[in-house]
Amino acid sequence: MNTRSEIIKNTLSAAIEHEFIEVLDDSQSHAGHEGAKAGGGHFYLTMVSAEFNNKSRIQRHQLIYAALGDMMKSDIHALSIKAYTPEEKPQ
């Protein structure tokens, strides 16, 4: 069975061509929070993609949110995003 972080990773991988993707689930650190009570998890995403070229930070986030679709309403309560172009990626 896939974990939510694996499902997020697979969903984004299918929608956005990338060089690197990492999804970390930090939901256990937020147990008892309102979003956690409703079933939504807390995740950290790092992604490197040429599709982010010439896009603002907001446009990059919108691209990711669109790819995740309804998961943003049910499975994900909080998503911290680091979206880089290949030229911007940290070493």
Residue 14 lies in a domain: yes
Residue 90 lies in a domain: no
Q: What is the pLDDT of residues 22-36, one digit of tens each?
A: 999 998 775 655 545
Structural domain of 14:
4-82
Q: What is the pLDDT of residues 39-74, one digit of tens each?
A: 578 999 999 999 999 999 999 999 999 999 999 988
Q: How many domains does the chain have?
A: 1
Task: Answer whether 0.75 is exceeded by the pTM.
Answer: yes
Residue 15 lies in a domain: yes
Residues in Cβ contact with 7 at an 8 Å cutoff, skipping those fewer than 6 apart: 71, 75
Is the pLDDT at 1 greater than 70, yes or no? no
User: The CATH number of the domain where 19 resides is what?
Assistant: 3.30.300.90
From the list 6, 1, 82, the residue with the least C-alpha distance to 41 is: 6
Residue 91 lies in a domain: no
**Banded model confidence at residue 8, pLDDT cuts 50, 70, 90:** very high
Residue 19 lies in a domain: yes
Measured distance CA(91)–CA(38) in Å, rounded: 37
Residue 34 lies in a domain: yes
